[in-house]
Amino acid sequence: MQKSAIQPTRQENYPEWYQQVIREADLAEVSPVRGCMVIKPWGYAIWERMQKILDERIKETGHVNAYFPLLIPLSQLEKEAKHIEGFAKECAVVTHHRLIDDGQGGLKPDGELEEPYVIRPTSETIIGTMYSKWIQSYRDLPLLLNQWANVMRWEMRTRLFLRTSEFLWQEGHTAHATAAEAVEETLKMLEVYRQFVEGALAMPVIVGEKTESERFPGAVNTYCMEAMMQDGKALQAGTSHFLGQNFSKGYDIQFTDQQGQIQHVWTTSWGTSTRLIGGLIMTHSDDNGLVLPPQLAPHQIVILPIYKKEEDKEAVLSFCASLEQQLKKLRWRDEFLRVHIDNRDIAGGEKNWQWIKKGVPIRLEIGPRDIAENAVSLYRRDQDVKARFSQKISVLTDTISETLEEMQCALFVRAEAYRRDRSVSVSSLAEFQAYFAEEKEGITGFASCYAVDTPEIESYLKPLKVSARCIPLEQGDQEGVCIFTGAKTQRKVVFARAY
């Protein structure tokens, strides 16, 4: 049996498999800064694809981009008590403004600041302060801004992309004249996220409301998307928060309404991050490396010239260059195809495996025999790595867009089927506990059941290392009994172990 490119395999050691996929695909690595990562060119190119697609969708809804400072005065952060309490243990604090010689050949901090600055864990506070200056009248509303930035949350246990002290994200912040408008905005952006994640990442999600214990600090309601990874754990793929007037009262964001009355605005915030790259890896990748949906792949097609004799080199490279130009003129999903020729002077087998591990959707091998037949050897990353399809150039150019669409859809269908097969509905506490029992062999997944949103249920969840992931927005009209408390309820909750 052929050894897989990634060792250990998913079945042997899933956490280590994940780290090895990142290493072999050359996505990122640990940096000298504790808990932080270096995102390498291929990993950052994937993030740029996510940025491009999501940024366009955010702007289509009327939002515009802005940028706010990295440092937040401590006094501003303290104005919203629940917010600071929620992030206090994760904050990195700047206390000095210069370095001086320590007299022993090193440096030490000097010049203590009159007021410490917090490196932003999120930006509600600094943005709320600015909104209080910018908003005076109902004519200034709604205010719809988005920011692409980095944030820092001092994590104790880090894992590349999934949980690092510093990460990249976008955070939207909006202000509205009424609660109804703010709630509508919150749910609208949740739907934008769902369409983005399911459409571009081919990652199926459950959208719902967070329980009170899982809510964003200071929010009235938090809505989320939950995706299932291949080990059965849940990954929160994005959140959208209805903040009510909590922040507007804390930061004195007021406006004069149409009746001349002074009112506090209603605000929202919402965000996704580089954590999506981790979710992408764990949703689609296999024991040979990364698997990329075509819409996110920096290169959708890589052309691999194959020749053994030096006299064949010029003809093969010329043929490849001509094909590259033909393919780059073709479009799929309103974009020109992204095509790359790898003409590096390294062994063909090594070159081929590098692109397999990087997850490129389509590889085209072209040698002297292919040229003679005016054909290519085509390999699809969503199928067996050795499955070869010989195609005439005319057929290739006519069908390549259809092939990419087929691959994009197939990845989603496969991931959705995986989630469906590992999702159960339970009707009793005993059944719930048996499903999540720590000694249970194999992979668990999502368990849904009738449950009330109360802190009482936490005592049943913690021993099993399970959390309430969301209360799905789509609920039936039947009433049931909470399996934890016995109280009647019409809402089912999805539970899982999570990242």
- pLDDT tens for 153-181 read 998 889 999 999 999 999 999 999 999 99
Alpha-carbon distance of 239 to 269, in angstroms, equals: 9
Query: Looking at residue 128, what is its pLDDT?
Result: 96
Q: Which two tokens stand for residue 306?
A: 């194959």
Burial 80-101 (b: 16+ CB within 10 A, else e): beebbebbeebbeeeeeeeeee
Instruction: Tell which residue, 237, 355, 336, has the closest CA to residue 291.
Output: 355
Burial 185-222 (b: 16+ CB within 10 A, else e): bbbbbbebbbebbbbbbbbbbbbbbbbeebbbbbbbbb
Alpha-carbon distance of 100 to 117, in angstroms, equals: 20
Write out the residue limits of the CATH 3.40.50.800 domain(s) in the chain.
Answer: 301-403
Architecture of domain 423-496: 2-Layer Sandwich (3.30)
Q: Which helix (H) or strand (E) holds 403?
A: helix 393-421
Integer-rounded Cα Rg, in Å, for the chain is 26
Query: Looking at residue 240, what is its pLDDT?
Result: 98
Query: Looking at residue 268, what is its pLDDT?
Result: 98
Three-state SS for 49?
A: helix
- pLDDT tens digits, 336-386: 999 999 999 898 899 999 999 999 999 999 999 999 999 999 999 999 999
Three-state SS for 313?
A: helix
pLDDT above 90 coverage of the chain, percent: 92
Q: Are 275 and 290 in contact (CB under 8 A)?
A: no
Query: Looking at residue 439, what is its pLDDT?
Result: 63
Q: Is the previous residue joined to 142 through a cis bond, with omega within 30 degrees of 0? A: yes
The answer for residues whose C-beta is within 8 angstroms of residue 488's C-beta and 6 or more apart is 479, 480, 481, 482
Which residue pairs, CB below 8 angstroms and at least 24 apart, start in 216-222? 216/86, 216/241, 216/269, 217/82, 217/83, 217/84, 217/85, 217/86, 217/87, 218/80, 218/82, 218/83, 218/86, 218/124, 218/243, 218/246, 218/247, 219/243, 219/244, 219/246, 220/244, 220/246, 221/183, 221/186
CB atoms within 10 A of CB 299: 22
Instruction: Tell which residue, 28, 46, 56, has the closest CA to residue 338.
Output: 46
Determine the average pLDDT of the residues in 126-147: 97
Q: Which two tokens stand for residue 115?
A: 């007021």
Average pLDDT over the chain reads: 95
Give residue for tokens 């959705």: 416
What one-character-per-residue DSSP string does 171-230 give? Answer: EEEEEESSHHHHHHHHHHHHHHHHHHHHHHS----EEEEPPGGGSPTT-SEEEEEEEE-T
* 457 pLDDT more than 80: yes
Query: Looking at residue 293, what is its pLDDT?
Result: 98
- pLDDT tens digits, 289-323: 999 999 999 999 999 999 989 899 999 999 999 99
The answer for residues whose C-beta is within 8 angstroms of residue 294's C-beta and 6 or more apart is 300, 332, 361, 362, 404, 405, 407, 408
Instruction: Tell which residue, 269, 366, 277, 362, has the closest CA to residue 321.
Output: 366
* 220 pLDDT more than 90: yes
The partner residues of 268 in beta bridges, in order of sequence, read 174, 242
Determine the average pLDDT of the residues in 278-285: 98
Q: Which two tokens stand for residue 412?
A: 């989603």
Q: Are 153 and 163 in contact (CB under 8 A)?
A: no
Alpha-carbon distance of 317 to 71, in angstroms, equals: 52
Pick the CATH number of 301-403 from 3.30.160.20, 3.40.50.300, 2.60.40.10, 3.40.50.800: 3.40.50.800
Q: Dihedrals φ, ψ of 362, to 5°?
A: -130, 130
Q: Are 410 and 400 in contact (CB under 8 A)?
A: no
Three-state SS for 233?
A: coil
Q: Are 177 and 138 in contact (CB under 8 A)?
A: yes
Q: Are 230 and 499 in contact (CB under 8 A)?
A: no
- pLDDT tens digits, 188-213: 999 999 999 999 999 999 999 999 99
Helix, strand, coil % in the chain, rounded to nearest 5: 35, 30, 35
- pLDDT tens digits, 50-109: 999 999 999 999 999 999 999 999 999 888 877 778 888 899 999 999 999 999 999 999
Write out the residue limits of the CATH 3.30.930.10 domain(s) in the chain.
Answer: 14-284
Q: Are 479 and 488 in contact (CB under 8 A)?
A: yes
Sort residue 446 into left (φ over 0), alpha (ψ -120 to 50) or beta. beta
What one-character-per-residue DSSP string does 175-188 give? Answer: EESSHHHHHHHHHH
Which superfamily is assigned to 14-284 in CATH?
Answer: Bira Bifunctional Protein; Domain 2 (3.30.930.10)
The answer for residues whose C-beta is within 8 angstroms of residue 308's C-beta and 6 or more apart is none
Alpha-carbon distance of 153 to 480, in angstroms, equals: 40
**Model confidence, pTM:** 0.96
Instruction: Tell which residue, 267, 244, 259, has the closest CA to residue 137.
Output: 259
CA angle 443, 444, 445 (to 5 degrees): 120
Write out the residue limits of the CATH 3.30.110.30 domain(s) in the chain.
Answer: 423-496
Determine the average pLDDT of the residues in 118-146: 97
- pLDDT tens digits, 406-448: 999 999 999 999 999 999 999 999 999 999 996 666 779 999 9
Alpha-carbon distance of 148 to 269, in angstroms, equals: 13
